[in-house]
A and B are shown apart, each in its own frame.
Chain A
Amino acid sequence: MELLLDIALLALLLITAISIAGIKDLLAAAMLAGIYGLLSAGFFMTMGAVDVAFTEAAVGAGISPLLIVLTLALCGRQQRGDRQRAMLALFLVLPVGALLIVATHDMPAFGAADAPAQMHVAPHYIQQSMAEIGIPNIVTSVLASYRGYDTFGEVVVIFTAGLGVLSLLMRSQGIDEPTVEPAPNAQSRDIVLRVIAKVLIAPIMLYALYVQFHGEYGPGGGFQAGVIFAVGFILYGLVFGLDAVRRVASHGLVQFLSAVGVLIYGSVGLLSLASGKSFLDYSALASNPVSGQHIGIIAIELGVGITVAAVMIMIFYLFAAQLRLQPRGPSLTPDHQGTDAGTAHLASQQQGAG
């Protein structure tokens, strides 16, 4: 039965991938990409990777198609057919594929219980994590404690992406609250959408909090919770307009919170340093090492949740604000970047190049 499910999911994934490659309507491609994410999440479930499935569903079938659709609203829905690179692509892809297939020759069989990967480091986590950390979800133990530094890096990656999008899409007067132009008809007129959105938002927030704090006992944790929490705000923004949601959580606040989450995570580590132990050694946080682990994990997951939620909301604000700006006509002439400001040098540099 499991085998059948496995093969069915993989076959569907293949069909979806090939369809995306061939299709010219980018909106359909975005939707298919969302389906691909959902199918991947389903596959992860059959592999027993519940935390990963949760995250992939939230990201691959949630945030990713959302951002792609927002981009398409600004950039156009149709793709022009283009065959010129096909030969080059095949020339590069086929050797890579061949190398990968050759590599599978010596691999341990799929699902084998005596593969090196299952025999070396992993058994320690499975057998010792209850005694050393005391929570049932082994993935959370490894993520938040054993390899907690990697998770710190992950939070910084999300922060960097948020900052990168900020640097690209910010209004030129600076990172302060951009002036919000009034946008007529920003609210959805559809009564069904408005009522359902209002009904759903509270449970979404509650669910986000549940996922945040229940991550030690079941699938969940800071990242998934952050995404779900952001989705509540994004839903509000999509249905009631960007102005409405920015009145609730201003741009400046969201920016501030994105930094705060990273600082919370790092401060937990610094606290351990101050007690003379290694960075992110949670046993320094309480007299009983296992309690220290609990405190540490809750604190850092909070940091992750805050930053992820803030960055996701900030990225949504930045993308959605672009929809308001006056669309420029297509121009292929050497022109300065589509920012609103330009220093005197911009003009002189462009002319001086000639």
Chain B
Amino acid sequence: MPAPRIWRHSNRGPVNVLLASHYNYWIVIALMMIGLYMVIAQGNLVKKIIGLNIFQTSVFIFYISVGKVDGAGAPILSAGETLYSNPLPHVLILTAIVVGIATTALALALTIRIKRAYGSIEERDIQAAEDKQDRATPPLPVGQEQ
């Protein structure tokens, strides 16, 4: 097991705790789980979509945390600066944000159509309508004579 890293904050002495070096990641994980929970547990379609958004945004926060360098500023070259944050995660997340809003827009359009077709955007109602439709047309058993 690698030795725990020593983390220095500019104003304090060395703080040698796993928590201090990883607290950021753990809170982000909590956010991801809340989002994922909402997607699965909530019955309302719009709530599901919001949950999906939260899940995705939390992943973005995680990625950006990876790129952070202590004491560094934004990755825009300027005279006098030597330390820059890592630009690569920023680029990836810019693309991922676009993908996120694209998915959200499509999902919301689907929700509008579902509301028109089923009259409700609660998963329970939609499933019930589907089951009712299925029961109205039972499957033919194998080998039935005409």
The chain A residues found within 8 Å of chain B, CB to CB, are 3, 6-7, 10-11, 13-14, 17-18, 20-21, 26, 29-30, 33, 36-37, 40, 43-44, 47-52, 55-56, 59-60, 63-64, 67-68, 70-72, 74-76, 79-80, 82, 84-86, 88-90, 92-94, 96-97, 100-101, 104, 106-113, 115, 117-118, 121-122, 125-126, 129-130, 136-139, 141-143, 147, 150-151, 153-154, 157-158, 160-162, 164-165, 168-169, 217-219, 223, 315, 318-319, 322, 328-332, 334-335, 337-338, 353-354
The reply to whether B136 and A354 form a contact with Cβ atoms under 8 Å apart is yes
Please determine whether B31 and A14 come into contact, CB atoms closer than 8 angstroms: yes
Q: Tell me the minimal C-beta distance from A339 to chain B in angstroms.
A: 9
Contact of B40 with A109 in the complex, beta carbons under 8 Å: no
Bound Cα distance A67, B75 (Å):
32
Main secondary structure of the interface of B (DSSP, over half): helix
Beta-carbon contact of B91 and A161 below 8 Å: no
Q: How close is B7's CB to chain A, nearest CB, in angstroms?
A: 5
10 tightest Cβ-Cβ pairs between the two chains A and B: A338-B116, A330-B119, A161-B102, A109-B21, A89-B41, A82-B43, A48-B85, A89-B40, A111-B70, A109-B5
How many Å from the CB of A300 to the closest CB on chain B? 14
User: B95 contacts A17, CB within 8 Å?
Assistant: no
B131 smallest CB distance to A (angstroms): 11
Whether the Cβ atoms of A59 and B112 lie closer than 8 Å is no
Assess the B109–A48 pair: CB atoms within 8 A. no
- Complex Cα distance, B97 from A151, in Å, reads 12
Residue among B22, B68, B109, B123 making CB contact with A168, cutoff 8 Å = B109
Q: Bin the interface of chain B by size.
A: 35 or more
A169 touching B112, Cβ below 8 Å: yes
Q: Looking at A18, A70, A143, A353, which has the most chain B CB atoms within 10 Å of its CB? A: A143
Look across to chain B and name the residue whose beta carbon is closest to the beta carbon of A29.
B50
In the complex, are the beta carbons of B119 and A160 less than 8 A apart? no
Instruction: List, in ascending order, chain B residues with CB within 8 A of A334's CB.
Output: 133, 136
B72 A51 Cβ-Cβ under 8 A: no
A161 with B106: CB separation less than 8 A = yes
- Residue of A whose beta carbon sits closest to that of B21: A109
Does B110 contact A168, Cβ atoms closer than 8 Å? Answer: yes
| Known contacts A14-B34, A334-B133, then 18 further A-B pairs from the complex at CB < 8 Å, ordered by chain A residue | A10-B24, A17-B54, A36-B53, A40-B60, A47-B64, A47-B85, A60-B53, A68-B49, A74-B115, A75-B46, A75-B111, A79-B42, A84-B124, A96-B33, A168-B112, A169-B109, A219-B76, A331-B118
Decide if A52 touches B21 in the complex (CB within 8 Å): no
What is the CB-to-nearest-CB distance from A258 to chain B, in angstroms, rounded to a whole number?
A: 13
In residues 29-67 of chain B, which contact A (Cβ within 8 Å)? 29-38, 40-47, 49-51, 53-54, 57, 60-61, 64-67
Taking a contact as CB atoms under 8 Å apart, the answer to whether A322 and B74 are in contact is: no
* Contact, CB under 8 Å: A329 / B119: yes
The answer on a CB contact under 8 Å between B61 and A72 is no
Judging by beta carbons under 8 Å apart, are A315 and B105 in contact?
yes
Bound form: Cα–Cα A142–B75 in Å = 11
In the assembled complex, how far is the CB of residue B3 from the closest CB belonging to chain A, in whole angstroms?
A: 11
Given contacts A80-B44, A150-B91, A165-B109, contact A328 B119 (CB under 8 A): yes
On whether the beta carbons of A71 and B112 are closer than 8 Å, the reply is yes
Q: Which residues from chain A contact B43 at a C-beta distance below 8 Å? A: 79-80, 82, 84-85
A71-B108, A96-B36, A165-B106 known; A60 vs B46 contact (CB < 8 Å): no
Q: Which residues of A contact B64 (CB under 8 A)?
A: 43-44, 47, 49, 52
Name the one of B32, B50, B85, B112 contacting A322, with C-beta atoms under 8 angstroms: B112
24 pairs of residues in contact across A and B, judged by CB atoms under 8 Å: A29-B50, A43-B64, A47-B65, A48-B68, A56-B57, A59-B97, A82-B124, A89-B37, A92-B36, A100-B33, A109-B21, A110-B7, A110-B23, A111-B70, A113-B83, A117-B89, A122-B88, A139-B94, A151-B95, A158-B102, A164-B105, A219-B76, A332-B132, A338-B117
